[in-house]
Amino acid sequence: MALLPLLQWIERTRVGTSIRESSYVFVIIVGLHALALAASVGIVLWFDLRLLGLAMREQRVSEVYRSLAPWMLSGFAVMFATGLLLFWAQAARCYENAYCHTKIPLLLVPAANALIYHLVTERDIAKWDGDAVPPVAARIAGAVSILSWTTIIVLGRQISF
C-alpha cells in the first residue's frame, strides 16, 4: 500500500475530520501542543544547560534531573498526544510538506540522544555528578538536545505556512 493513500485515509477518518473541521477543537489542540512544547522543551533546556555546565553548577546533575523529570515527562506526554492528533487531522497535507518530511524523522534524534545519555553516559554519573562542568559526553548530549529541539520547533512552525 502506498503511503499517500494511507495518509489520506487517516486524515479522512471521523477523528481526523472532526478535528480539522471543528471551529474550536483544532485551535485548542494547537494551543495545548504549544504549551506542552514550551513546558517540556523549556524544562529540558534547563537540564541541558546543567549538562553543558552553564547553569545550576552547584547542584548535582542527578538532583537537577530528578526534580525536573516529572515535569518534562508530563509535558512530553501532552506534546506527543496533541502532536499525534494534529498529524491525524492533516496527515495527507504533511505528506506534501517538506518541513514535515524533515521534522518527523528528526524527532528520532533527541529520542536517541536521551537513550544514549541514560544508557551510556549516565552509567558512570557517580564519578562526575557533582562536577561544575560534566564530561564531554554529557556536554555533547546537552548540545545535541538543544540543537535538535530548536530545529524541530522551527520546522514545526514552518509546517503551518
Instruction: Tell whether the model's pLDDT for residue 67 goes beyond 80.
Output: yes
CB of 72 within 8 A of CB of 40? yes
Alpha carbons 135 and 52: distance in angstroms, whole number:
9
Range of the domain at 62: 3-159
Q: Is 95 exposed, middle or buried (0-12, 13-18, 19+ CB in 10 A)?
A: middle
Average pLDDT of the segment spanning 34-46 = 96
Average pLDDT of the segment spanning 58-78 = 97
Domain count, the chain: 1
Cell numbers found for residue 99: 518541513
Stated pTM of the model: 0.90
Name the average pLDDT for the chain. 95
Instruction: Tell whether the model's pLDDT for residue 159 goes beyond 90.
Output: no
Q: Is 90 exposed, middle or buried (0-12, 13-18, 19+ CB in 10 A)?
A: buried
Residue 1: predicted pLDDT: 63
Alpha carbons 157 and 26: distance in angstroms, whole number:
15
User: What is the CA 101 to chain-centroid distance, rounded?
Assistant: 16
